[in-house]
Amino acid sequence: MSVTNTIGIGMVGCGRIADLQCLGYLDHPSSRIVATCDIDGEVAERRRVEWKAERAYTNLDDLLADPRVDAVEILTPHDLHADQAVAALAAGKHVSLQKPPTHSLAEIDRIADAARACGRVVRVFENFAHYPPHRKARELIEAGAIGTPLSVRIKTALGRPSDGWSVSMQSQAWRVDRGRCGGGALTFDHGYHCFHMGQFFFPCEIERVHAFIHWTRLGDGAWLDGPSLISWKYAGDTPVRYGSWETMTSVGMRIRSNYYASDDRIEVHGSEGILWVNRCTGKLLDEPALVLYRDGETRAFHDLETDWAASFRLGGEDFVSCLLDGREPSQTLAQARRTLAFALAAGLSADQAREVTVAEIENAAACLSSTCENQP
């Protein structure tokens, strides 16, 4: 580990999302990207030059042996996360892990065990939690702006893939491979954002989940999971609280976006008012990003930063600050584990056409862990 007050970052996986993930490290006065790593040597070198890093690697072990690297940002496909995070921790590095963190609770528990053993920090990065309209909405809810929050409704609109960002076929391929992705490109990869938002505005845990997910075969081993409709109940009966999330794959619809060709809207309904967050990754509607209804009046918030990139910049800066300040990251492994259990419950519900409790997912993981520990 370096002895200075500057955190040296190693970027592991330098594809499309790295265009945004780098922002917090480049903008923070106490961090710098010192190394890049990608299996494509040309990509690793191009990013090294772009970010003014010192070394480019094609092998993770080589990057982890670099003493200039204090923390790694892991931006690789989901099926690689667990092994790469554990290896980084064993090498004494702090870890920022792209969502979804792992395929299973057993894998995230393995990362947690490794973090405890070496005393390093792991945060799971979920950029929606740093998006300024989402943060302002939660601030208003916690201040009582809508009374007691009773329900959340999330709507994801997926447009024609020719709009927005150009994403390589290699990156698209693993996302539509359910085995590599760990679920669907919409309801697991993107879905982790929305499952986290289902928890973000409420002070109670998710209890029960029911999901409809339609799968369309795109080719050999390639599937698209949409449309879908997922609903859930929060724990407790006073008051009764529900949530829902719908995805629509309108592949002929144009969505204005500088990023992915999709957009998300959120409505949080309370006992005394309603909050709407009207955009996130795209620019679907020409409306204020955040609107509050209360006591017969509507208030719009026009002074919020609405560029989706801001959420990455703020999230990266937060990770560096938590390492410097010795505090917990904005999303700990324990918090990420609850969101992952929620996502896994939705996937199981759709596969088995039944309601699934989050406790069932957690109990199955505990039983598996107990069985493994008792193996000779």
Q: What is the pLDDT of residues 151-160, one digit of tens each?
A: 999 999 999 9
Q: Are residues 162 and 204 in the same domain?
A: yes
**What's the gap between Cα 199 and its chain centre?**
13
Q: Are residues 192 and 321 in the same domain?
A: no
Reply yes or no: is the peptide bond before residue 100 cis, omega within 30 of 0: yes
pLDDT for 82 beyond 90 = yes
Kindly report whether the global pTM for this prediction surpasses the value 0.75. Answer: yes
- Please state, in angstroms and rounded to a whole number, the distance separating the CA atoms of residues 214 and 232: 18
Q: Are residues 61 and 121 in the same domain?
A: yes
pLDDT in the model for residue 372 = 58
Q: Is residue 33 assigned to a domain?
A: yes
pLDDT in the model for residue 285 = 85
pLDDT in the model for residue 371 = 62
Q: Are residues 83 and 157 in the same domain?
A: no
Take residue 303 and report the two structure tokens written for it: 């002074």
- Beta-strand relationship, 7-12 and 71-74: parallel
CB atoms within 10 A of CB 321: 17
The CATH number of the domain where 30 resides is what?
A: 3.40.50.720
Higher pLDDT, 21 or 161: 21
Q: Are residues 57 and 188 in the same domain?
A: no
* Count of domains forming the chain: 2
pLDDT for 116 beyond 60 = yes
Please enumerate, as own/partner, the contacts of 27-32 that have beta carbons within 8 Å and a separation of 24 or more: 27/313, 27/316, 27/317, 28/316, 28/317, 28/320, 28/321, 30/5, 30/6, 30/320, 30/324, 31/6, 31/7, 31/316, 31/320, 32/6, 32/7, 32/8
Contact 33, 39 (CB under 8 A): no
pLDDT in tens, 225-269: 999 999 999 999 999 999 999 999 888 899 999 999 999 999 999
pLDDT in the model for residue 313 = 98
Q: Are residues 85 and 155 in the same domain?
A: no
Take residue 247 and report the two structure tokens written for it: 């995805």
Q: Is residue 133 assigned to a domain?
A: yes
Q: Is residue 352 assigned to a domain?
A: no
Q: What is the torsional sign of CA 192, 263, 178, 40?
A: negative
The CATH number of the domain where 249 resides is what?
A: 3.30.360.10
pLDDT in the model for residue 203 = 86
Identify the domain containing residue 186 by its residue range: 128-306
Q: Is residue 265 assigned to a domain?
A: yes
Q: Are residues 221 and 322 in the same domain?
A: no
Contact 199, 343 (CB under 8 A): no
Q: Are residues 321 and 237 in the same domain?
A: no
Q: What is the DSSP string of 211-256?
A: EEEEEEEEETTEEEEEEEEEEEEES-SSS--EEEEEEEE-TTS---
pLDDT in the model for residue 344 = 98
pLDDT in the model for residue 4 = 55
Q: Would you call 38 helix, strand, or coil by DSSP?
A: coil
- Provide the 8-state DSSP code for 33: E
pLDDT in the model for residue 3 = 38
* pLDDT, mean over the chain: 95
Which residues share a beta bridge with 291?
A: 276, 300
pLDDT in tens, 164-204: 898 888 888 999 999 999 999 999 999 999 999 999 999 89
Q: Is residue 140 assigned to a domain?
A: yes
Q: Are residues 212 and 148 in the same domain?
A: yes
161 closest CA partner among 70, 275, 257, 294: 257
Q: Is residue 335 assigned to a domain?
A: no
Q: Is residue 170 assigned to a domain?
A: yes
pLDDT in the model for residue 302 = 93
Q: Are residues 99 and 223 in the same domain?
A: no
Q: Is residue 375 assigned to a domain?
A: no
